[in-house]
Amino acid sequence: MDPVGFVPTMGYLHEGHLSLVRKARRDCDSVVVSIFVNPTQFAHNEDINTYPQDIARDLEILETQDVDFVWIPKAGDMYPPGFQSWVSVDELTLPLEGIFRPEHFRGVTTVVAKLFNCVRPNYAYFGQKDYQQAVVIQRMVIDLNFPIEVVVCPIIREEDGLAMSSRNVYLKPEQRKAATVLNRSLVKASQVFEFGERDADTLRTVVKETILEEPLAQLQYISCANLETLEELDGMVERCVLLIAVLFGKTRLIDNVLIGD
C-alpha cells in the first residue's frame, strides 16, 4: 500500500506547518492535512475563542503545496452528544506544559488518536516547537500500538529567531521585539555548552538570566530535561533538551533546543 502522510494542524498556517507538509510530500504518495481547533485541549481560561483562524487563507496556502486532502472536521462531529472516551498519557504529561495546562495533553492525545483512526496514515508529522507534545504522541503511538511512524520536524524560525507560531499574531509590536529573547537565551546556552559547560544547573541559569534581562518577559518555566523521559536533569549532561515557556502579557510562547544531540 502506498504510504499516506498526515499533518494535523489547528490552522492559521505558517512556514512551520508548511515544512511538515513538504516533508510529508517528499515521503508519501498521499498527503492529508487536517485543520481543527480542538476544544478539548483548551482550558476554560484559555484562548480558544480568540485563537487565530482564517480557513480561506489556509486553503489558498495549501493549494500551492500539492496536498491531496484537506480535512476540516466540525467540533460537533468530533465530539457528539454522549462523548466520554479519552486517551491519556501519564508521567510525560505532568511536568512543563502539564503544570500550566493540566487538561491540555488529554485533549491533544484524544483528538490525535481520533484523527489517526479517521485518516489511518502511515506517517504523521509534528513540529519540534511543541517538543513535549511530540514526545507524548510518540509514547501514545508506541503504547497503544498505532501502526504509524511519528516524524518530528525542526523548528522553523522568523529571521530574527522567533519560533514560528500561530499565536505570534497576538504580540504587540514591542512584545514581538522582546519575544526574540526566547531564542536568544537558548542559543546562548547552546554556545556555553559548545564551549565545554556541562552542568545542567549552569545551562538553566544562562537561559534564565538572559530572559530576566527582558522586562516584558515573564518566565513560566525553564527546564534542562532528558530527551525521552523529560525528567529534569542535574549534574553533568552530555545530551538534553532545554525548554522554556514565557508570557508576554497574556500571550504564552514556548521554545526549545536540543543540546549535544
Residues involved in catalysis: 17
Q: Does 91 bind its own copies (CB under 8 A)?
A: yes
Part in contact with its own copies (CB under 8 A); list of ranges 6-14, 35-43, 114-122, 253-261: 114-122
CB of 27 to its own copies, least distance (A): 21
Q: Does 231 bind its own copies (CB under 8 A)?
A: no
126-145: contacts with its own copies (CB under 8 A) = 139-140, 142-145
Give the separation between CA 36 and CA 120, rounded to whole angstroms: 17
Q: Does 146 bind its own copies (CB under 8 A)?
A: yes
Measured on CA atoms in the order 174, 175, 176, 181, is the torsion positive or negative? Answer: positive
Strand order in the sheet with 218-225: 218-225, 240-248, 251-259
**Residue 79 grid cell:** 465530539
The residue from 28, 113, 153, 211 that contacts its own copies (CB under 8 A) is 113
Q: Does 82 bind its own copies (CB under 8 A)?
A: yes
Other Cβ atoms less than 10 A from the Cβ of 230: the count is 23
Could you please report the per-residue DSSP string of 192-250? HHHTT--BHHHHHHHHHHHHHT-TT-EEEEEEEE-TTT-PBP-SB-SSEEEEEEEEETT
Could you please report the per-residue DSSP string of 140-191? HHHHTT-S-EEEEEPPPB-TTSPBP-GGGGG--HHHHHHTHHHHHHHHHHHH
Give the separation between CA 224 and CA 231, rounded to whole angstroms: 8
Q: Does 69 bind its own copies (CB under 8 A)?
A: no
Q: How many residues bind its own copies (CB under 8 A)?
A: 28
The residue from 76, 80, 173, 215 that contacts its own copies (CB under 8 A) is 80
Q: Does 114 bind its own copies (CB under 8 A)?
A: yes
The residue from 45, 49, 85, 235 that contacts its own copies (CB under 8 A) is 85
Q: What are phi and psi of 146, to 5 degrees?
A: -65, 130
The residue from 89, 108, 253, 259 that contacts its own copies (CB under 8 A) is 89
CB of 83 to its own copies, least distance (A): 5
DSSP code of 118?
Answer: H
Beta carbon nearer to its own copies, 69 or 83: 83
Part in contact with its own copies (CB under 8 A); list of ranges 82-90, 126-134, 153-161, 177-185: 82-90
CB of 78 to its own copies, least distance (A): 8
Tell me which residues touch its own copies (CB under 8 A).
80, 82-92, 109-110, 113-114, 117-118, 120, 139-140, 142-147, 229
